[in-house]
Structure 1
């Protein structure tokens, strides 16, 4: 029964996070600690290892569809990877309450920004502006710190940053998945060193998530032809505000 439940949870989360550009590690982290009572260090390592294979499959599928903007994605990664490493090394020195408060404030501000931004600029025009690279780097740094410090995926910040940089609907989610592959892989290396992966719990989650990662890009192709894409950005903004509020409470 436990294995079936884990497979089902992995399938649902894997489909949704790849479809909407997240990594899922934060969700897995909450499930592993809250529902299955894993210790924090083990849960962080297990959540990142669970999320990584499905991210790779999702990114590869989006790449084959030509949806990934590697230019902006690589700009984020240049800042994100060092931030993951620094965050992992400093995680033991950062008070948990301070970290949760900072995450909450940043997520709320990002969500509000997404809701009030009237018009997306095209990614090409953003490339011509001098501050675009700096913006991409800042989003990458904060997302990387989320991975390094707490074993989260950092997907909320990355997808918000990509929308604010002008990428639209599933191009933003595809590029986010690409960025999260490398961030999660780097974070997994450090968190595995600090906590043992619970394979008995993580493997069924991983298998379910892999199936979801195969489904999600195909589902994205179908949804891209519908009106649902115009609701992706405001919906993401509302979710960020809710996540930020939860972090502050």
Structure 2
């Protein structure tokens, strides 16, 4: 429960669902089977992304135009990813996913301040990031927050809006992903419920924390933190 609270604050503050972090905790710390860890991670992250998204909605920071475009593109990709998962070698998937996350992180770092994608291609680019995120959810049981957040930053949203919109998109993805995995009966509820309760409590705190940071002189540093985390996630996925 304590771990869930800490992770809930961190991932909702950074616009993620925390699927990759929960996946790592469940597989490496609690030593449960990978297929059960994937299912449990998605179910665990669902309440926290819902609570975090509601907090951002109340602050009117969600960009529904881009968020809905990503979500509508991601939903079919979740289903497709779940169907393809049994046929994709784990090694190939790890390398492809890891390299994508590293490239996205570097893209954020190298992007000039104020630069964004051409407006006429905005919805198309948003759809591409949505599809990539959906495949992450369907194939690996991750939350898919990395590509969503990176895409929103690259499309020109400020850090606060990107975090808020990412949380909104992940609500839809987590619902679908969790439903598919629950139906398979692979969720470890003994570990999942305490993590879920802790994460939900952390998600209540996160939007208020992000608001305070965005009003401070350190708001620009959040973009660098997100970029570095994406690169580290990518490297860790490949290992």
| CA distance in 1: counterparts of 2:111 and 2:224, whole angstroms | 10
Instruction: Identify the range of structure 1 (65-74 vs 235-244) with the bigger mean alpha-carbon deviation.
Output: 235-244
Residue 233 (structure 1) aligns with: 223
| 1:111 aligned residue (83, 105, 116) | 105
Q: TM-score, normalised by structure 2?
A: 0.96
Quick check: 1:120–1:164 contact (8 Å CA) kept in 2?
no
**Distance (whole Å) between structure 1 residues aligned to residue 23 and residue 153 of structure 2:** 25
Number of matched pairs: 239
8 Å contact from structure 1 (residues 26, 152) kept in 2: yes
Look up the match of 1:16. Answer: 10
Partner of 1:210 in structure 2? 200
1:29-108 alignment to 2 at 5 Å? 29-108=23-102
2:2 and 2:237 mapped to 1: Cα distance? Answer: 26
Deviations 1:187-226 (A, max 9, x none): 1111222342211111110110011000111112211210
Q: What is the TM-score normalised by the length of structure 1?
A: 0.92
Please report how far the alpha carbon of residue 229 of structure 1 lies from its aligned counterpart in structure 2 after TM superposition.
Answer: 1.3
Q: Map of 1:174-213 to 2, 5 A cutoff? A: 174-213=164-203
Over residues 85-123 of structure 1, what are the superposed CA-to-partner deviations in whole Å (9 max), with x where a residue is unaligned?
10011111111111100011111111111111112347x
Question: Is 2:151 the partner of 1:157?
Answer: no
In structure 2, how many angstroms separate the alpha carbons of the residues matched to 1:33 and 1:193? 21
Contact in 1 for aligned 2:17/2:145 (Cα 8 Å) = yes
Alignment RMSD (CA, Å): 1.3
- The equivalent residue for 2:211 is 221
Partner of 2:122: 132
Structure 2's unaligned 5+ residue stretches are none
- Contact 1:17/1:24, CA 8 A, preserved across alignment: yes
- Unmatched 5+ residue regions in structure 1? 1-6
What do the CA deviations read for 1:213-246 (whole angstroms, capped 9, x no partner)?
0011111221121022101112212221222122
